[in-house]
Amino acid sequence: MMDGDNCLDEPPQMLPPPPGTFVDREELIQHAGDFAVTQGYVVTIKQSKKDKFVILGCDRGGVYRNRRKPADDSSGEQHNRKRKTASRLTNCPFEAIGKKDDGLWILTIKNGTHNHEPLKDISEHPSARRFNETEVLLIKEMTEAGLKPRQILKRLRQSNPELMSTPKHVYNVKAKIRQGNVTVKNFKSLRAQTSAMINNDHAVTEPSWRQRNPPRVPNLIGGRFVDSQSFSSIDVINPATQLVVSQVPFTTNEEFRAAVFAAKRAFPLWRSTSIASRRRIMFKFQELIRRDIDKLAMTITTEHGKPLKDAYDDVWRGLEVVEHTCGLASTQIGEFAPNVSKGIDSYSIREPLGVCAGICSSEFPAMIPLWMFTFAVTCGNTFVLKPSEKDPGASVILAELAMEAGLPNGVLNIVHGTNDILNSICDHEDIKAITFSGPEAAGAYIYTRASASRKRAQCNTGVKNHAVVMPDANMDATLNAVVAAGFGAAGQKCMALSMAIFVGGLSRWESKLVESAKTIKVNSGKEPNAELGPVISKQMRERICKSIQASVECGARLVLDGRDIVVPGYEQGNFIGPTILCDVRVDMDCCKDESFGPVLLCMQVECLEEAINIINRNQYPKSTFFLLPFIFWRSRICLARFFT
């Protein structure tokens, strides 16, 4: 062991940035620059051909070693005169190289050594005195207006009080301007995020995906939200107004591989992070969700259409899972069984699997992602999330909050797309487990394809909820429960009640049920009195209407028709009012298929046994929708033999 005092006396090492693969050139440069700042040095671009390679070097600025020339004893003269600063060893040998290969940028370190000491305060580096692009343009404008350098500097400091530049630096910029060159690359260098930069309103620029109109939903790769390079995208439509809320890109193969690589690269460090540290991040995460719950609920309502009350419930149900992960430490305890056989003890250790993935449906934009990635990362895995392309906004917000809570870069990644990205998730060899929730057909396909790639797969599918109403049930309480369960969130949830079976007859319930359903207020989800909003898409509305018509043609009796409802101010919305079909039979397609929509099927039977048999014979006998963390663990069983 080394002595602690001696360790403090040693200068900190200036380590080179870790090599790796990145989705684009900017991500590679940002990675090298951010890491360098933590080590006490600054990197700058030495040479670059934008589409092929970039060479990064150290921008010096540290305290140079051996700044005095050693005395020449043979001459007999003492060289006491100090040499000028930086007159020797001005070129630091540090050099990092980034090259583009097969669509990805690969960072390698050619020389990771330095010939100077690290800076204790990175703000002392000369690069911290340089102007950003906006300030250069302001200098140009004020110069043309006749202002002197000191006047220019005084005005710049009004918006950035901690600006460390001097009039000399303004003169240098003016000289460049006179030469007709004001591009920012002549003044740009990677530097630390000092408070001066953060407080400077002009220096803050929105990411490219936010600058688009409509906004383009970003991928999250290695801790950075990046705009996809794909030219294809899907419009996210507000179902109440038909306005385009945002655009979801089809993530390219290179971007998907980069996301998986980022998760794989982050796994070794994350798995070695203590359970207490991971749990602490979850505690902070739940605080941030509570802080931004209004923003989350509004985003869900805008993209999905469900009323704000249901949107808040969506977030709260997911938040309950986050709260549960805060106490997940005890469930990660292994087992020990002494003397299972003569002289043998057995013990098991639960270990994280590695990179896991989640594929989400559109019904719960916040709850389902929270059910998936919070369990996975708390167990020590890294995660690649694919939100629904119909309502991805909540997932992006949750990812932002997770990063703010302290989740390390690469632990959570987000990619977008449809069938191609789904197939890539199922086939990628570095993804060890997949969890999915959604329709039966998609779940069966994902389970089969993922299992063929020897992955763990957990698919929650199959939705058909039944209610049995006995003849002696309380009328008001039963009607309130049936109407709320059947038409809440426009029936677009796995817990929605799609069929009510009335034992002993339906006649005394029918009129009251219709009357109660008619009182439901149909409106845009953002309206304060809304109880039922639009369905998520025009295609879903057409599918529901076709199912209603097919049921009527097969003999069902339509006692309440909501297909022709018009909501004032939202005439283009995907609205379907409460709809009730009576006298349905078990041989009708509406009783066999999964149901999503504000449609309640009513059936009457003679006895309870008959009702139970109908439920048990249905291919979806009950809704089972739960997620256990055990898919994200590997149990390693060890046998220890002790000889005497």
Q: Which of 89, 32, 103, 81 is nearest to 60 (CA)?
A: 89
Amino acid at 547: S
Give the CATH number, domain containing residue 18. Answer: 2.20.25
Q: Which of 443, 461, 479 is the last residue of a domain?
A: 461
> For the range 556-565, what are the long-range contacts, defined as Cβ-Cβ under 8 Å and sequence gap of 24 or more?
556/581, 556/582, 556/583, 556/584, 556/585, 556/588, 556/590, 556/601, 557/581, 557/582, 557/583, 559/510, 559/514, 560/514, 560/517, 560/518, 562/522, 562/598, 565/522
Q: In which band, very low, low, confident or very high, does the pLDDT at 314 lie, cut at 50, 70 and 90?
A: very high
Tell me the C-alpha distance between 219 and 482, whole Å: 41
- pLDDT for res 397: 95
Question: Are residues 397 and 540 both part of a single domain?
Answer: no
- Asked, for residue 622, whether it belongs to a domain, the answer is yes
Residue 536 CA: distances (Å) to CA of 145, 463, 491: 55, 18, 11
Provide mean pLDDT across the span 83-106: 71
Q: In which band, very low, low, confident or very high, does the pLDDT at 623 lie, cut at 50, 70 and 90?
A: very low
Per residue in 270-288, pLDDT tens? 998 888 899 999 999 999 9
Whether 638 is a known active-site residue: answer no
Tell me the C-alpha distance between 132 and 182, whole Å: 11
Q: In which band, very low, low, confident or very high, does the pLDDT at 91 lie, cut at 50, 70 and 90?
A: confident
- pLDDT for res 76: 47
More confident residue, 633 or 557: 557
- Asked, for residue 503, whether it belongs to a domain, the answer is yes
* Residue 211 token pair: 């600058």
Cβ neighbors of 236 (< 8 A, separation 6 or more) are: 217, 244, 245, 246, 247, 248, 303, 389, 390, 391, 392, 393
Strand order through the sheet with 431-437: 224-226, 219-221, 412-414, 382-386, 355-359, 431-437, 456-460
Tell me the C-alpha distance between 137 and 128, whole Å: 18
In 83-165, which ranges are continuous DSSP H helix? 133-144, 149-159
**116-130, 202-216, 370-384, range with the lowest pLDDT:** 202-216
Catalytic residue among 326, 360, 426, 494: 494
Cβ neighbors of 309 (< 8 A, separation 6 or more) are: none
Tokens 């449609």 belong to residue: 599
- Asked, for residue 85, whether it belongs to a domain, the answer is no
Question: Are residues 251 and 288 both part of a single domain?
Answer: yes
DSSP class per residue in 145-206: TT--HHHHHHHHHHH-TT----HHHHHHHHHHHHTT---GGGT-------HHHHH-TTT---
Query: What percentage of the chain carries pLDDT values higher than 70?
Result: 81
Question: Helices (H) and strands (E) in the chain — how many of each?
Answer: 20, 24
Question: Are residues 453 and 527 both part of a single domain?
Answer: no
Number of domains into which the chain is organized? 4
Question: Are residues 139 and 178 both part of a single domain?
Answer: yes
Asked if the model's pLDDT at residue 194 lies above 60, the reply is no
Provide mean pLDDT across the span 402-410: 92
Asked if the model's pLDDT at residue 447 lies above 50, the reply is yes
Residue 19 CA: distances (Å) to CA of 31, 96, 109: 10, 9, 7
> What integer best gives the mean pLDDT of the chain?
80
More confident residue, 31 or 322: 322
- pLDDT for res 464: 78
Q: How many CB atoms lie within 10 A of CB 550?
A: 13
Tokens 């022709």 belong to residue: 564
Tokens 């900017």 belong to residue: 26
Q: Full-prediction pTM beyond 0.75?
A: no
- Asked, for residue 168, whether it belongs to a domain, the answer is yes
- CA 537 to chain CA centroid, Å, is 23
Question: Are residues 320 and 379 both part of a single domain?
Answer: yes
Q: Which of 461, 485, 504 is the last residue of a domain?
A: 461
Q: Which domain holds residue 508?
A: 465-628
Question: Are residues 310 and 391 both part of a single domain?
Answer: yes
Q: Which of 112, 101, 122, 102 is nearest to 19 (CA)?
A: 112
573 with 527: CB under 8 angstroms?
no
Provide mean pLDDT across the span 37-57: 82
Per residue in 325-372, pLDDT tens? 888 877 777 788 888 888 888 888 888 899 999 999 888 999 999 999
Question: Are residues 494 and 589 both part of a single domain?
Answer: yes
- Asked, for residue 312, whether it belongs to a domain, the answer is yes
> Which burial class, exposed, middle or buried, applies to 2 when counting CB atoms under 10 A from its CB (0-12, 13-18, 19+)?
exposed
Determine the angle formed by the axes of helices 475-487 and 507-518, rounding to 10 degrees. Answer: 60
182 with 219: CB under 8 angstroms?
no
- Asked, for residue 214, whether it belongs to a domain, the answer is no
Tell me the C-alpha distance between 527 and 285, whole Å: 29
- Asked, for residue 479, whether it belongs to a domain, the answer is yes
Question: Are residues 454 and 384 both part of a single domain?
Answer: yes
- Pairing type for strands 633-641 and 95-101 reads unpaired
Question: Are residues 265 and 169 both part of a single domain?
Answer: no
Tokens 């709320």 belong to residue: 484
Question: Are residues 381 and 524 both part of a single domain?
Answer: no
Tell me the C-alpha distance between 401 and 450, whole Å: 30
Provide mean pLDDT across the span 462-475: 84
Q: Which of 566, 560, 571, 569 is nearest to 598 (CA)?
A: 560
- Asked, for residue 83, whether it belongs to a domain, the answer is no
Provide mean pLDDT across the span 363-389: 93
Asked if the model's pLDDT at residue 602 lies above 80, the reply is yes
Provide mean pLDDT across the span 541-559: 90
Asked if the model's pLDDT at residue 231 lies above 80, the reply is yes
Give the CATH number, domain containing residue 498. Answer: 3.40.309.10
Omega before 214 cis (within 30°)? Answer: yes
Q: Which of 405, 436, 461 is the last residue of a domain?
A: 461
Question: Are residues 267 and 164 both part of a single domain?
Answer: no
3 state DSSP class of 344? strand
Tell me the C-alpha distance between 435 and 164, whole Å: 52
Asked if the model's pLDDT at residue 71 lies above 70, the reply is no
Question: Are residues 123 and 235 both part of a single domain?
Answer: no
Q: Which of 8, 14, 117 is nearest to 67 (CA)?
A: 117
